[in-house]
């Protein structure tokens, strides 16, 4: 399964898809990036005349790249375009250090802590283009193949 196929299998679409590309992936780690375009819907009200990307959106980008993409890769023999997985966030703890502005590109790097009983827990961090730490933490989710029975 190549990285474009993984992105195709994600259960998201624009305006809630926060994965532009996956730059590397193995059974233990994934990295990818996303550019927050200035016309994203959440910039209109967060904050007036000085928009920054909401922390919940940064967390979602980290979860999509760092947990969901890795989970799809780990379950590649059990899922397909006809059998997309069901995804659920189970927990997260994120520390934020820097803002992300409109038109800013970020890189997410995730390392698997464990994957058992379809629960994936990862240590995830987000870096800006200056290689500065934007945020980091742990995210867990359930990734279950949809058995179409």
Give exposure, 38-57, as e/b (b: 16+ Cβ within 10 Å): eebeebeebeeeebbbbeeb
Cβ contact 11:83 at 8 Å: no
92 is catalytic: no
If DSSP codes are grouped into helix, strand and coil, which group holds residue 122? Answer: strand
- For CA atoms 143, 141, 129, 102, give the dihedral sign: positive
Token pair belonging to 73: 């890769």
Choose the catalytic residue: 17, 42, 46, 128.
Answer: 46
How open is the CA angle 27-118-95, to the nearest 5 degrees? 75
Cβ-Cβ contacts under 8 Å for 97 (sequence gap 6 or more): 132, 133, 134, 135, 136
Q: Which residues are catalytic?
A: 46
């Amino acid at each position: 399964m190549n990285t474009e196929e993984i992105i195709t299998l994600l259960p998201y679409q624009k305006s809630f898809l926060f994965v532009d590309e996956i730059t590397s992936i193995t059974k233990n780690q994934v990295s990818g990036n996303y550019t927050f375009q200035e016309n994203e819907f959440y910039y209109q009200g967060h904050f007036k005349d000085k928009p920054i990307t909401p922390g919940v959106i940064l967390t979602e980008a980290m979860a999509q790249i760092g947990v969901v993409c890795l989970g799809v890769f780990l379950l590649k023999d059990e899922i397909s375009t006809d059998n997309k997985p069901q995804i659920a966030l189970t927990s997260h703890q994120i520390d934020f250090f820097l803002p992300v502005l409109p038109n800013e590109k970020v890189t997410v790097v995730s390392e698997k802590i464990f994957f058992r009983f379809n629960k994936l827990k990862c240590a995830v961090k987000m870096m800006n283009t200056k290689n500065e730490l934007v945020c980091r933490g742990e995210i867990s989710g359930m990734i279950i193949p949809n058995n179409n029975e």
